[in-house]
Structure 1
Amino acid sequence: MISLLGYLPFIQRIYRQFKSGQAGPGPSAGQQSIVETRFLRMTLDHDTGEMNGNVLEGAFAGRSLNQLTLDQLLELLTECTREDEESAQLLRAYLGRVHGDEWQQSQADSQAAEVSGGMTHREAYEILGLEEGADEEEIRAAHRSLMQKLHPDRGGSTYLASKINRAKEVLLGKQ
């Protein structure tokens, strides 16, 4: 397996060329570069500048990158970032080439949803057993009552306690 760190300058140069619309100084008689990381095997066609790859590991193993939606690619990026930074860097180069700046906005939107735990105001009201539009005092009282019953120290689950805490944060705007 080729270590990506040694190829990082090469990948960065390729990425800059892709962003500027250049595939290289001229035709290269069908040459391709192949870089393999833990999660990805990527190819770059020197003539066309086309970049593609296959997923080697993880939730999308066995699939070609060009078959994945942007949301799926971002899921893969999250997995790569967690497990293998070399794969994440390579996937970022691919995303920049294929999706331009769009992927970064989608990633930011995705991260914002993660920060809020993906919880909507409606879900938060339901978790706390409140009607939409409840005021701060009602939210705090419902939170306190539920935590007294469901806190892990009182035999409740950590999962439920975290959901109750998150619901209060979402409704009180502490995201």
Structure 2
Amino acid sequence: MIDSALNYLSNGSAITLLVLWSLSLYMIIVFWIFIYRFLSLKSSILTEKKSLEALTSRSSTLSPMSALSKCANGVTNKDILHACEINIIKDASVGISWMSIIASTAPFIGLFGTVVGILESFAKFSSHSKVGFSVIAPAISEALVATAAGIFVAIFAYTFHQILVRKVYELNTYIKAQAKILIAKG
């Protein structure tokens, strides 16, 4: 397996290697954004959940650890709280659009690598007078590796994007609930 991968990389064209390098970079970015944002959102959700529980049970004030408390500075004006909600969610969703961009472009980058690989294979075969399927099939299968890599990256990017969008929604729910309680308490 490793020998065939090394053979593929050593025999690949510059475009194919560039495509695989780009997709590798995409994969690193996807995992970096996901891990960073997931841990950050998880921490924020836990803080806001505790703050909401404190607000609804024993305390009539917002927890000082809450992002809403830090933003509003004790003001319970509806417009101020709404502006804080928007700002908190904007900050929480930083980087998530990159996941969507990578999920949508990675398959096209892989497809580009496949098309170039197939074109190069056919250019090599043009000098032969007679070429059989046993010669064409390995060349085309090697070219399809780029498409497979693009789809592989897109699957992770799309899945992680959906997980992070759900976490932002969960955070938004806690923030809105706190703001509504604060407005109702006046």
Q: TM-score range by the shorter chain?
A: under 0.3
User: Comparing both chains, which one has the higher relative contact order based on Cα–Cα distances under 8 Å and sequence gaps of 6 or more?
Assistant: 2
Structure of larger gyration radius: 2
Q: TM-score, normalised by structure 1?
A: 0.27
* TM-score of the superposed pair, with normalisation by structure 2: 0.25
Higher strand share: 1
Flag the structure with higher helix content. 2
